[in-house]
Amino acid sequence: MTSRCRRDAHQLYLDLCSSQRYRRLLHGDLHHGNVLHDSERGWVAIDPKGVLGEPEYEIGAALRNPIEHPEVFLEPRTIEGRLSCLADRLQLNADRVLGWAFAQAVLAAVWLREDGVAVSDDHPWLALARIMQPMLKRRR
């Protein structure tokens, strides 16, 4: 991971944190692996992290999963399509969703390294961040 990518993600994260509106309690790790169907209760979100923030933050984990199949989320058209669909249906600011997703993708890779996992520059989350970075610039 380049220091520029890390620096850009850190700065964007700080900017997004300081400009949040409508903060609320979020799941914090909402993606396909943490949503299960229970025969009695219907759809249930499991393994919440309990993050306080704006709803746009919540989409980041969904955009970088399923980690086991990065080909599903590394295509620019797929990223734009998922981003557009989720932001539209959930009435979220797509630019902020993309910003949070970029910062979280870099942060997730940093956490892996801190946990002692070898994270190469072609790791899917870093590849996603590299694809998202120019998308961010086009939206500004």
Q: In this structure, are residues 124 and 74 in contact, taking their beta carbons and an 8 Å threshold?
A: yes
122 is catalytic: no
How many whole angstroms separate alpha carbon 102 and alpha carbon 138?
14
10: left (phi over 0), alpha (psi -120 to 50) or beta: alpha
Is the peptide bond preceding residue 66 cis, with omega within 30 degrees of 0?
Answer: yes
Q: Which of 8, 15, 29, 122 is catalytic?
A: 29
How many whole angstroms separate alpha carbon 78 and alpha carbon 136?
15
Q: Is 140 helix (H, G, I), strand (E, B) or coil?
A: coil
Catalytic residues: 29
